[in-house]
Structure 1
Amino acid sequence: MSSTSTAGVLLITVPAVAFGGMTLLTFLMRGVPGYLDNPVRRGLWRAGHAHAGVLVLFSLVALIYLDQADLSEGTRTLARLLIVAAPILMPLGFFLSVVRPSDTKPSKLIWLTYLGGACLVVGTLVLGIGLL
């Protein structure tokens, strides 16, 4: 998949991020039980939403540079996949680790957040090295 196609897919996710923000705002405004009264869940869901928005934007910018990097096609594809995995895995870890309104501590699915962070670090390092 090319960077242009990947950017198209990422852009299609932006309305989902906006919908998530609207949902969180609705939870706040309506005092939805299990959100407003659960600081762990509220904090992780806010972090998930924030990371989704920022990392989608970061990935779109990185894709512009990826096609200019001095990397083999295989390495370029690997970097593209790793960079795009971050805005998927990190928010999923935040959201899915406290799915039930009664969850007061993250489940093992929080490791998706760490996996997404590792993908971001490796993909960004590969891209940076390819640009030097």
Structure 2
Amino acid sequence: MTTETRITAAILLITVSTIAFGGLSLLMQLVRRIPGYLDNPVRRGLWTAGHAHAGVLVLFALVALLYLDRTDYPGPVLMLIRVLMATAPILMPLGFFLSVVRPSDTRPNRLILLVPAGGVALTAGTLLLGVGLL
């Protein structure tokens, strides 16, 4: 594994602590019955989706990085794939969370557009990695 890939993996592993803290925050909102979460199905659904996407996408990116250095891509393409794979687990959850920040929000704001932006990063990164492995 190259140094760059190892550093990217280390950064992704460090983000797991923020995902755990987010899960604890969601749990505390349920246990403490905090208004604006339980009584707001849009906010609850988007925050649940944000937390789930963060966990799954970080794991996916870590697994994908194991294959990255097995491609014959030059350095700049490898860096692009690393950035794309690390961007998706950041952008998508941010879009879910920030689109309904206020407890009174019943509709997502424009920051929900971070979700498809993260999806584009994920798609591009996985497509490039898949082609590179062929």
Which category of TM-score, normalised to the shorter sequence, fits these structures? Answer: over 0.9
Consecutive unaligned residues of structure 2, counting only runs of 5 or more, are none
Partner of 1:41: 43
| Partners of 2:92 and 2:73 in 1: CA distance | 26
Partner of 1:63: 65
Describe how 1:51-130 pairs up with structure 2 within 5 A.
51-130=53-132
| Partners of 2:88 and 2:11 in 1: CA distance | 14
| Partners of 2:72 and 2:132 in 1: CA distance | 5
Measured against aligned partners, the alpha-carbon deviations of 1:79-123 in whole angstroms (never above 9, x if no partner) come to 110111000000000000000000000000000001000000000
| Partners of 1:46 and 1:7 in 2: CA distance | 25
Secondary structure at the residue paired with 1:2? helix
AA paired with 2:20? Answer: A
| Partners of 1:30 and 1:65 in 2: CA distance | 43
Q: Which runs of structure 1 show a deviation greater than 3 angstroms over 4 or more consecutive aligned residues?
A: none
| Partners of 1:114 and 1:15 in 2: CA distance | 24
TM-score (norm 2): 0.97
TM-score (norm 1): 0.98
| Partners of 1:69 and 1:98 in 2: CA distance | 40
2:17 maps to 1:15: yes
AA paired with 1:72? Answer: P
Measured against aligned partners, the alpha-carbon deviations of 1:45-102 in whole angstroms (never above 9, x if no partner) come to 0000000000000010111101111211111111110111000000000000000000
Percent of counterpart pairs with the same letter?
64
Partner of 2:133: 131
Partner of 1:26: 28
How many positions carry a matched residue from both structures?
132
CA-CA distance at 1:30 after TM superposition:
1.0
Consecutive unaligned residues of structure 1, counting only runs of 5 or more, are none
CA-CA distance at 1:15 after TM superposition:
0.9
Q: CA RMSD for the aligned pairs?
A: 0.8
AA paired with 2:52? Answer: A
